[in-house]
Structure 1
Amino acid sequence: MFRRSESFQDFIRFYPIVSFLVGLHFFLWLTTDFLMLSPFVALENSAELNNYYVANGEYWRLVTPIFFHYGFGHALFNSFSLVLFGPALEQMLGKPKFIFAYLATGIIGNLGSFFFGPMHVVSVGASGAIFGLFGIYLYMIYARRELIDQANTQIILTISVIALVMTFLRSNINIYGHIFGLVGGLVVAPLVLRNAQPFSQWRNVRRSRKGSDGDITFDPNRWKKRRFPMKKFLPKLLWGILILLVVFGLISRFL
């Protein structure tokens, strides 16, 4: 579900919305932060989440910050998270619902920052929408268990805890955007998960081989025949990584 094995071309074909968003992240970073082209820099300035300007009627600033980032690292981290956790939802929800969920949770995160954050806050980033995806997965775990298996449940729970802990430990983080983005995912999940089907890698395989000569044949029990002796150690490994990250965060916070 979260392991990417597609080729670059197949990834773009299977997940066009995620691919477009990642491409947009880097295009906007390139034109604003790297090349610093005046029209795009001006566009970023008018797109930032600025509570003062929102309060004075510039409501588009609740939407536009979702697509901009401050610096390459910021764009890279959010894009990497989107590549990991977005494709499964794009397939399960379908393109229209995925777009709605992504935008809605990002806007809810920005609304939370506007209503509860300080007036002088200025921020951009897709983090609220990314946390919204986590919120949808968390709703699956507790209300739609048939949509996600145990191994992926452990991954989502661990990553969500890490993300929340780091939200409070790292500096220059829009805490309200993260928290309300997560809440937004929990809110929209019942709407977008109606009629959702579990993620299926084989659905993509069949699409990629459609029109090729011969039938697609495979052993449905192929995974059961394999043995993964490290599988039982995965939860311990993930929690060990979590503890290390928390310790690192605490040390860096007070140095």
Structure 2
Amino acid sequence: MFVRTETFREFIRFYPITSILIAIHLLFWIILILPLSYSNLFISQLVGVNGLIEQGEYWRLVTPIFLHSGFSHLLFNTFSLVLFAPALERLLGKSKFIFAYIGSGLIANIITFWLHPPTYSHVGSSGAIFGLLGMYIFLILYQKHVLSSSDTQIVIVLLVIGLLMGLFNARVNMVAHVGGMLGGFTLSFIFFKAPIHSHRPKTKQFYFWLILSLLVIIGLFSYR
């Protein structure tokens, strides 16, 4: 599911929304690095600044999803998008996928606004990407037939690594990572069918959610 074998043209044809998101990432990055006076001014109007959001500039809850602070930041998030977005775009369809992606990023930025001080500023699609991971966690728990065991292991390992990196790197917006993941997981109940009958959780699932919950609690309280 996460191995890409398509050509460039096939990727664009099969996953148009993912391709458009990547193009937007690149477009804003090019605008940012252009040696023009209006470039930085334009980008500054899109950065998530909590104090300005508090003053009514609510578009800043959405626009940071498409911005990145450096080339490595852009490269990592774009690679993550190429890796995780295509399968969900095919599963959800174009409209639902757009809603899920932007919705997860919006939830992540709203939680960032709540928990960080007014002086805090942020950019990046990490919250939205963690929302995709949250949707995969939903599929692992409630739609086991969608993911293979190897795909499941990839999702869990990358999710845990991403959360741990957020805990030990002060530059990472851990709140957005956790908020995006929880947002994507919650939105999954709208897009996917959960099982009608509840079952006793398996031991592996229990310990996974126990460890993940501890990481979430530690991450959130570290910013309070």
Q: Could you say whether these structures have the same fold, taking a TM-score greater than 0.5 normalized by the shorter chain as the test? A: yes
Q: Which structure's CA Rg is the greater one?
A: 1
Kept in 1: contact 2:18–2:82 (CA 8 A) = yes
Shift of 1:36: 3.8
Q: How does 1:124-163 map to 2 (within 5 A)?
A: 124-163=123-162
Work out whether 1:50 is the aligned partner of 2:53: no
Q: How does 1:1-255 map to 2 (within 5 A)?
A: 1-32=1-32, 34-194=33-193
Give the TM-score of the pair, scaled to structure 2: 0.84
Distance 1:18 1:47 in 2: 21
Q: In structure 2, the residue corresponding to 1:70 is in which secondary structure? A: coil
Shift of 1:57: 0.7
2:209 corresponds to: none
Kept in 2: contact 1:105–1:185 (CA 8 A) = yes
Q: Which runs of 5+ in 2 are unaligned?
A: 195-224
Distance 1:15 1:185 in 2: 19
Root mean square deviation, CA, Å = 1.3
Distance 2:100 2:36 in 1: 31
The change in CA–CA distance for 1:192 and 1:39 in structure 2 (over 3 A counts) is farther
Kept in 1: contact 2:51–2:119 (CA 8 A) = yes
Shift of 1:21: 0.8
Deviations 1:121-168 (A, max 9, x none): 111110000000000000111112122121111110111111111111
Kept in 2: contact 1:28–1:40 (CA 8 A) = no
User: What number of residue pairs does the alignment pair up?
Assistant: 194
Shift of 1:194: 4.5
Q: In structure 1, the residue corresponding to 2:172 is in which secondary structure? A: coil
Q: Which runs of 5+ in 1 are unaligned?
A: 196-255
Distance 1:182 1:49 in 2: 19
Percent of residue pairs bearing the same amino acid type: 44
